[in-house]
Amino acid sequence: MKLAVIIGTTREGRKTPQQAKWVFNTAKQLQGVEAELVDLKDYPMPFFTEPVSPRYNPERKIDPAVIPWLKKLEEFDAYIFVTPEYNHSVPGVLKNALDYVTWELLHKPAAVVSHGTQAGARAMTDLKEILSESRAVPIPTVSSTAMSGMSEIIDENGNLSEAAKANPYGPKAGLDALLADLKWYSDALSTARANDQQASSD
């Protein structure tokens, strides 16, 4: 499984990279997983203003600034979006980035890890709906990877506090369960996509 761990905010002073590094550091240790940390800050894009939905526009003219983001998404089998909660939802920069998506996420599993007020639960719920419209497959796992006070639990290098590690029902157990589910869906959907490609070429 080639996995993208996506930092879903570009705000100055953001804490989200701490949570994303924790996810990335854990995922890259798993057998059969090749993980990459993808930061939206490295993919600056203008506000989406295309006149027709990208998925249904055969004459689409893509802004050159958006192409690197779309090509990066195509590289992966699965995704974990790490997001804070801003005003009861996801950051605008993340929503904007997903508005440009066509079929890059089609039939690929996606998970959400969140933090903020109410552990970022509202951002997580909203993001799963957005990902569904992008034709990704949001996995149903709900776990303690949604965090309140995240920056007090995970340090700047993505290390979980000793107290959190010691909790058998805490963030470590939650992330392990999420990654196991994501790997299962990724393997199953990769096989299905390969079968579809084979059938279409026959």
Q: Helix or strand or coil: residue 113?
A: strand
Domain 2-55+62-201 has CATH 3.40.50.360: yes
∠ CA(36), CA(42), CA(44), 5° rounding? 135
Query: Where exactly are the structural domains of the chain?
Result: 2-55+62-201
In this prediction, residue 128 carries a pLDDT of 95
Q: What is the pTM of this model?
A: 0.96
Burial 7-23 (b: 16+ CB within 10 A, else e): bbbbeeeebbbbbbbbb
Check whether 12 has a pLDDT greater than 90: yes
Check whether 201 has a pLDDT greater than 90: no
In this prediction, residue 202 carries a pLDDT of 66
In this prediction, residue 133 carries a pLDDT of 94
Tens digits of residue pLDDT in 81-135 = 999 999 999 999 999 999 999 999 999 999 999 999 899 999 999 999 999 999 9
Q: Helix or strand or coil: residue 1?
A: coil
Tens digits of residue pLDDT in 181-197 = 999 999 999 999 999 88
Check whether 149 has a pLDDT greater than 90: yes
3-state secondary structure 128-193: HHHHHHCCCEECCCCCCCCECCHHHHECCCCCECHHHHHCCCCHHHHHHHHHHHHHHHHHHHHHHH
Quick one: what percent of the chain has pLDDT higher than 90? Answer: 92
CA 51 vs. chain centroid, Å, equals 26
